[in-house]
Amino acid sequence: MRSRAWCGTAAAVLGLLAAGCGGGKDTEDKGTEKSAASGGFPVTVTDCMGAGTTFTEAPGKIVTSNASSLEILLRLGAGDQVIGTGFPPSKGALPGDLDARAQQVEVLSKTVIPKEKLLGSGADLYIDTFASMAGMGGGMGDAPTEEEFEAAGIKHVYLKSTACAPMGKGPSTDLSAVQDDISSLGDVTGTSAKARELVAGMKEKVDGVQKAVGGIAEDARPTYFFFDFDAGTKQPIAVCNRQVANAVITLAGARNVFADCDGDFKQVSWEDVVSRNPDWIQLGVRDRGSEAADEKAFDEAQQWLEDNPATRGLKAVKEGNFLRIGSERTTIAGVENATTVQDIARAVHPDKVK
């Protein structure tokens, strides 16, 4: 039986499940091993504990746990192999024809796919962004065991940049784990050439930012708070140093105010946020399906910070230093993580990044 991995705390999953889990650069040990002779199949991918799953051919019926892995497959050109998903992207959430193709994928659940539906889906591969939910409470339901996946003829793999984050050996400060996931899925689906193209595009964007801001001393970098408005305002959720957002913020030349928190997500207090008094605040709103709806949600998040007695005195609030960048492309693995690095850098370092 393969080892299972946990995906953050129950509280963090309850608050942030729709946006996926976190990432870390040291959580993986190069997740794909290909045939040296052919450069193709067989392909072996590993889970968070190093247990391997081998593919002798590309899967034909894939189910994804959420929009993160679905989007990666669509960008790889493997969308025709996807037969269902959980946590689907809302209409208009993806750019161009990706959105139209995403809307054609059968929605097996708007949240976590029920165990029976997943096992009876007819899939030959399940890509898991969340890792094991078993025992986490909170009404998450039962996740299939590895024996049940095997009995149903379903191979089970993970997006390691997200699923393995709580087991990371150190902070997430680059996008290598995300890029490794893209490469691994490219190898598994027979789209490795497209995967190399996507990864190269990400590296080009990030390298450009690094040339501009890489020389800025740590203490000269502005502090940054990711405000997940949709996770609730009574008690905020912080993105910690093993979450992919920490890498995005760091690469952009800013300092995550909760980078001293080991893990992916953590419930904190507004007193904690106030004590760190960030220079910039990202209004982390999840996609509403249209530009108008997104702007309305951004307005609501900003207004809440400006009206709340606990936050209206923050430096970022008083100076109007808000970034309107969606949650999904900041906190879940994907090609757009690199674009978010650019967007943050342009905002916090306008003199260096055009």
Query: Which of the four pLDDT bands, split at 50, 70 and 90, describes residue 141?
Result: low
Alpha helices in the chain (DSSP H): 10-16, 67-76, 96-103, 115-119, 146-151, 160-163, 176-189, 192-213, 244-251, 270-276, 291-307, 315-319, 328-331, 336-348
End-to-end alpha carbon distance in the chain: 51
Q: What is the mean pLDDT of residues 319-324?
A: 98
In-domain check, residue 51:
yes
Q: What are phi and psi of 61, to 5 degrees?
A: -140, 100
Any domain includes 106:
yes
Task: Please check whether residues 113 and 190 belong to one and the same domain.
Answer: yes
Q: For residue 110, what are the contacts with CB-CB under 8 A and spacing of at least 6?
A: 86, 87, 88
Pair 180, 53 in one domain: yes
Output the six-digit token pair for 102. 């995403």
Q: Are residues 138 and 14 both part of a single domain? A: yes
Cβ atoms of residues 45 and 127 within 8 Å: no
The answer to whether residue 306 sits within a structural domain is yes
Q: What is the pLDDT of residue 168?
A: 74
Residues 118 and 231 in one domain: no
Please tell me the predicted confidence (pLDDT) of residue 183. 97
Q: Where residue 110 sits, what CATH number does that domain have?
A: 3.40.50.1980
The reported pLDDT for the residue numbered 217 is 96
Instruction: Tell me which of 162 and 61 has the higher pLDDT.
Output: 61
- Statement to judge: residues 69 and 182 lie in one domain: yes
Mean pLDDT within 181-197: 97
The Cα-based distances of 339 to 6, 178, 292 in angstroms read: 29, 13, 21
Residue 103: which domain range?
Answer: 10-200
Among 37-41, 183-187, 267-271, 290-294, the least confident range? 37-41
Q: Are residues 68 and 170 in the same domain?
A: yes
Smallest Cα–Cα separation from 110: which of 145, 79, 65? 65
Do residues 15 and 144 share a domain?
A: yes
| Residue 308: inside a domain | yes
Q: Which of 244, 207, 241, 204 is nearest to 329 (CA)?
A: 244
Residues 124 and 249 in one domain: no
Residues 194 and 252 in one domain: no
Domain count across the chain: 2
Does residue 244 share a domain with residue 123? no
Q: Is the pLDDT of residue 13 over 80?
A: no
- Tell whether 329 is covered by a domain: yes
- What is the mean pLDDT of the segment spanning 19-39? 42
33 and 173 both lie in a single domain: yes
Last residue of one domain, picked from the residues 200, 233, 257? 200
Answer yes or no: is 172 within a domain.
Answer: yes
CA distances, 31 to each of 1, 228, 331 (Å): 18, 30, 21
Full-model pTM:
0.86
Q: Check whether residue 159 and residue 227 sit in a common domain.
A: no
